[in-house]
Amino acid sequence: DDSMVTMVDDDGGDTCLWFVDPAEASATLEAARIANPDVVGLHLGVTPLGLAFAACGGWDGIEEAKDDAQAGGGAKRFAGELRLQGRQAVVNRMAASLREQLRAQGLEPGGWQLPVFSCDELQSAGAMPMFFSHEDLAHAWVLSGRPREEMPDQLNVMDLRLLVNQMRTTDKFPWGSLQFLCSSAAIELVQETKAQAQALAAQE
């Protein structure tokens, strides 16, 4: 897409990232602004998780869904690599084990891994909250009225692809009860980004 400013990955290829960590998204935007001083109105985009997941190849074998997602996410004509990007330090630490987890279930790891955290104690028959970081889960634990020191040391962690596969093929994670929860900082960044995009559109 001509409106996109892409990044260059470690192999020298173009890449487009969908971030789940607001601080890393903001830092990347600032770096892009510095690297592209002549680009006016450079800002983040906001894409629903399902569309970004499909655009990045998460829905294996469902090409129509992938094409639709790329069109909706502004990535249909992009020839580089599309990735969902978890918090970098967490991904670096857990990527190898997540790839093994996927292979053990007969799934291709692909070019990216996105860890999803959950905790049995926070789940109920009608709600299964999922988090993209240990910190966000810990915050929800405290908000639920539980002492921070009583939070389990071992949390459930799986790659997003594996979670979606289990949602599609088992009844372990019902679609209607599963919820992805993010931090207040992420919500604020989304609101700020949408407001900025609307303001730029009004100037055109």
Mean pLDDT value of segment 151-170: 93
In the numeric block, which tokens belong to residue 137?
């889960």
> Above pLDDT 90, what percent of the chain?
61
Determine the pLDDT at residue 36: 87
Burial zone of 203 (CB within 10 Å; 0-12 exposed, 13-18 middle, 19+ buried):
exposed
Residue 66 has pLDDT above 70, yes or no: no
With contact defined as beta carbons under 8 Å apart, do 138 and 146 qualify?
no
Determine the pLDDT at residue 112: 93
Going along 20-103, which residue ranges are E strands?
Answer: 81-85
With contact defined as beta carbons under 8 Å apart, do 99 and 34 qualify?
no
In the numeric block, which tokens belong to residue 179?
């919820």
> Reduced to 3 states, what is the DSSP secondary structure of residue 17?
strand
Mean pLDDT value of segment 36-48: 89
What is the CA angle 30-36-41, rounded to 5?
70
Mean pLDDT value of segment 55-75: 56
pTM for this one?
Answer: 0.84
What is the band of 69 on the pLDDT scale with cuts at 50, 70, 90?
A: very low
Tokens 């897409």 map to which residue? 1
| pLDDT digit string, tens, across residues 81-95 | 899 999 999 999 999
Determine the pLDDT at residue 77: 60
Residue 109 has pLDDT above 60, yes or no: yes
Mean pLDDT value of segment 27-35: 92
Strands of 156-159's sheet, edge to edge? 156-159, 115-118, 128-131, 178-181
Residue 48 has pLDDT above 90, yes or no: yes
Residue 117 has pLDDT above 90, yes or no: yes
Determine the pLDDT at residue 126: 87
With contact defined as beta carbons under 8 Å apart, do 15 and 79 qualify?
no
Cα torsion 32, 33, 37, 43: sign: positive
| pLDDT digit string, tens, across residues 161-200 | 999 999 999 988 888 899 999 999 999 999 999 998 888 8
Determine the pLDDT at residue 72: 47
Mean pLDDT value of segment 28-45: 90
